[in-house]
Every structure is written in C-alpha cells, then in structure tokens.
Amino acid sequence: MKRWLGFLIISCMLFSACSNKQEVSNDANTLRVDIGMEPPTLDPALAEDAYTFRVVNDLFAGLIDFDQTNKPIAGMAESWEISPDGKTYTFHLHENLKFSDGTPITAKDFVYSWQRLIDPKTACAYSFLLKSIVNAQEILSGKLSSDKLGVEAVDNNTFRVKLDYPNNAFLSYMTVPDVFVVPRHIIQKYGNDWTNPKHMVTSGAYTLKEHVLNGYILATKNPYYYNASNVKINRIKYFPYVDVNVALANYKTGVLDTTWQNVPIDQYKSLKRQYMSELHTVTWERLEFLNFNMTLPKYANNLKLREALSMAIDRDILVKNVLKSGQRTLYSVVTPTIEAGKYAKIKYEWQSLSREKRLAKARQLYKAAGYSNKNPLKVTLKYKTNDLYRKVAISIAAMWSDELGVDVVLQNEEWKSLIQSLHNANYDISFGGWGADYNSITTYTPIYACNNANNHSHYCNKQYDSLIDQAIRTVDNNKQELLYKQALQLMLNSYSIIPLFQPSHQRLVNSRVQNYHIKDNYLDNVQSKWMTLRNYTSSRFN
C-alpha cells in the first residue's frame, strides 16, 4: 500500500466543542451565520475573498443587484439605457436614496466610489472590473489621475458611464461588491479607520454595530435602505469559525443557523443521513488549484518540472477518497460548467491516460528537469489553515514524495496572512482558488493576466494578455469565444498553476431559515435580505 494512504489517517486534535461554543441567543429575529474566517477587511473596495463578500454584500449596495439565481437585477438604479454602440450606460437612481446615517446618496457618490476603486493608491484587487471604462487603463498605469475616469453625475439621480469598447459582461461586473457605493464624507473624515463600527456608514440592507476581532460581527437592519420594507430579518451575527468541527458543534446546539461552505470531510456521509433536509450539497462555480511561485527561477525556468508535478497528482484519489462530498476532478484553468459548458473542452490531453502512463511520463519529465532520488526537489507547500486544505495538502505531499521522490514540507498559514504572502510572492508552492463572481468566462480570465493583483502565481505572458484584450473588445460572439479559447489553452500549457478540483459547497441550514434558495445559487453569493426566519425553536438541543 502506498505511503500516501498512511497520511490520510493522520488526525489533528480537535478543539473542545464545549470550550468553543457560544451562548445560544434567544432572539427570534437574529440570523446566526458562520463565515469561515475573520474577514481581512470590511471595505468593499478591498474585498477579494468569499469571507469578506458574505458580510459586505449585506452592508453595501450598488447600481445593480443580483437574485438567488445569480442574475443581475435592478438595484439602486431602477432603470438604465445602453447606447446603440454599446459604449454608454446611463443609470437612473431611485429617488431619495440614503446612507445608513441618513445622508443622501446621489450620482456623485457613485462617481467618488468608482474613482476611489480605480485609483492605484487604493490597491484594489478588483480594479479590473472598471478596466473597460474610458481612461481606466491610463489611470491604472499611473498616466492619468482617477478623476479622469469616464464616469459622470449628469444630475443627482443620473449616473453615466462611458466605455472604451462594448463589454457584454459589464452589468454582471456591477453585481460585485467592490463597485458598491461608499460614503465619501466618512472615508475622508476617518481614513483607514472608517470601517470601525464607531464610524462606519453603509449603503446596504444592514449596518455594522459590533466587530469583535476573531469573535463575531453584528449587523442590524438599516432603516434608510431603499428597499428596507422587504428586509425581514433585524440582525445578522457572523461567526468566523476556522475549525469546521467547532462550527458543526455550534450548529448542532443551535448557536448557528447556517454553516460555512464545507462540513468535516470525515463526517459528511453521517451528516447527510442525520440532517437529510438540512445539509445541502451544490456544485460550486469555482476552481481549486496550486500556485507555483513563478518569481522563483527553479519554477519559472523549468516547464518540465511544473508539468511533472501536475501529472503526479491523482485527482481521482483526491475527489473520491479524500474529499468525498460532491467535488469534481479538474484538468483545466477554467471550470467545465462556466457559461453552460462553453469551455469544457479546454483540458490537458494527458487526462485520458491511465494512472500508470501518467506517472511514467511524470517521472521522465522530473528526471529531464534535473531531479532524482539523489537530487530531490525540495518544496514547501503552503496551505490555508483549514481541515479540508490540510487533508488535501497531506495527500498531495505524499503523492509527490512516493511517485517522484520530492522532499515536501507542509506549512499552514491563517488566511489574513496567506493572502498577503500570495500578493507578495512569499511562498514556494501554495494553495489557491477562485470563485466565479458572475457567469462569464471573464470571471476567470483576469486571474492569469500580467500585473493583475489576483494573479498569485505572478506568471506573465504578454501573448495571453493580448488575446484577452482582443477578445473583450470583439463584438462578434463567435470570434470572441475563439480568442478566449486560444488564450486559455495557452495558459493551460504554461503550467503556471496546478488545477486540482472543482469544489462543492456543503452547507447546513436550519429549517427555521426560509426563502433561501441554496440549490439555485451556484456562485454561492449570498445576501441575508433574501431570507426570513420562522419563530425561534430550541428543538435542536439534545
């Protein structure tokens, strides 16, 4: 039996469920949500992960909203027109919009919010969302100031956007919280401290009341929200449980109404039996992969090594024997499900080979790359502190060690620290991932572009960038699709990342939570304002 199987039975000491439980609230109108990690920020312009998005989607709002099937719908803009050439968008705001402190929200606030977002000083990882707007490229490169962005307040209730070229995904971009409206008067007064609960003013369905670092975040209904009459839950309490076993214990005792995006791997089958109507497993529009640090010569200058390490990983084992909860193997830089499977044929040719033939090829490549048992590759594999990633990391380390003789050291890091390590290329090989923000291939293409803040492998291919730029400027849908496919195939062949699997999210939802259509939400973008709560019950106690 291979040594990697031994790794799978390694277990960590679990936190004591008793010592980590919170007191159960008797408040019938408080939704208690696990968000998985402490959000690195609550500033929409700096949001770049699902933990932050879950909270910021409740606190802020934008021109365009989204429904539970992830479709763009009217938000603060009650209507809009698009010019015949597709290059001018005119948004008409609802009358009497207000921030949570009662101050008016006008078109000028959207001008400020977007100029702040595009300003390189803000360092927004999602500034690419505005890249197609007039002068955006020049602002991002430092050639123009942010006040030259092609947006204007025609009047208090009319916001106009001028694009360099038609962009058929532009309305979908508007559903991402980074482009939501923020309060200029508060940010200018308090600077970086504006997200402190003492100061924060919001534009969404909820407003921030308390934030205990690594403890909880409390938000309450915003009475000034434009659609407040349809918001039924008064309070949201978010818990950043890193340990899924602790989260599960708190769910079982009624502390939580919903868990985060996965349950303990080794308990999935039993939980599925025990909570048949409460445990939901949904295929997630997301990639999980490993980043090579392409600033390091040992990877940047050795394509054969990168290919060997990718081929040596048995994704079937990961999905069937380790994860075992609805995940799918992945052999591509995009999912086979985005845009109804339009890009499903982009995948490694060796996917069809048997495991034995893959390993034989991987060993040849490893040897040709200059490594052997006498001269093994030394790797530090960094992963996010989380039970799921720990088990996958253990398995991958064992596969590399057994099949190629790689010397692997595992290193876990808290998410707040890991995201900075990824940005700063402070790692050797690291886990990475990307969840789609909308149903367009353009949700994935930017993460491989040169100088994009979300390109954590730091690989740069000018030909890829050129193809993507041509594609986004192409009006003909067939030609555009062809250009995207050429670019993605080029990126696939670069082996700058190692695709692993397309995840599922497995979420426990208490039956008292109503009007949450989890099966329809394949992006797992969630807003609390959709939901209602039945009367609180203590039936979960046992």
What are the CA-CA distances from residue 488 to residues 10, 177, 424, 454, 468 (Å)?
A: 38, 26, 25, 16, 9
Q: What is the fold of 285-502?
A: Dipeptide-binding Protein; domain 3 (3.10.105)
CA distance 200 to 215: 19
pLDDT of amino acid 21:
41
The correct answer on CATH 3.40.190.10 for the domain covering 26-44+190-283+505-533 is yes
Q: In this structure, what are the phi and psi dihedrals at residue 282, rounded to the nearest 5 degrees? A: -130, 130
**Domain regions of the chain by residue span:** 26-44+190-283+505-533, 61-181, 285-502
One pLDDT digit (tens) per residue for the chain, 542 residues: 333 433 333 333 333 333 344 444 447 899 999 999 999 999 999 999 999 999 999 999 999 999 999 999 999 999 999 999 999 999 999 999 999 999 999 999 999 999 999 999 999 999 999 999 999 999 999 999 999 999 999 999 999 999 999 998 999 999 999 999 999 999 999 999 999 999 999 999 999 999 999 999 999 999 999 999 999 999 999 999 999 999 999 999 999 999 999 999 999 999 999 999 999 999 999 999 999 999 999 999 999 999 999 999 999 999 999 999 999 999 999 999 999 999 999 999 999 999 999 999 999 999 999 999 999 999 999 999 988 999 999 999 999 999 999 999 999 999 889 999 999 999 999 999 999 999 999 999 999 999 999 999 999 999 999 999 999 999 899 999 999 999 999 999 999 999 999 999 999 999 999 999 999 999 999 999 999 999 754 444 33
Q: What is the pTM of this model?
A: 0.88
pLDDT of amino acid 9:
33
pLDDT of amino acid 475:
87
Class at the top of the CATH hierarchy for domain 61-181: alpha beta
pLDDT of amino acid 23:
42
Distance of CA 279 to the CA centre of its chain: 22
Contacts 24+ apart (CB under 8 A), 538-541: 538/24, 538/254, 540/252, 540/253, 540/254, 540/510, 541/253, 541/254
Residue type, 168: N
* Cβ–Cβ under 8 Å, residues 432 and 496: no
DSSP β-bridge partners for residue 197 = none
Give the pLDDT confidence of 55-76 residue by residue, as tens digits: 999 999 999 999 999 999 999 9
The DSSP secondary-structure symbol of 320 reads I
Helix, strand, coil percentages for the chain (3-state, nearest 5): 40, 20, 45
DSSP β-bridge partners for residue 160 = 90, 152
pLDDT of amino acid 386:
86
CA angle 18, 383, 506 (to 5 degrees): 55
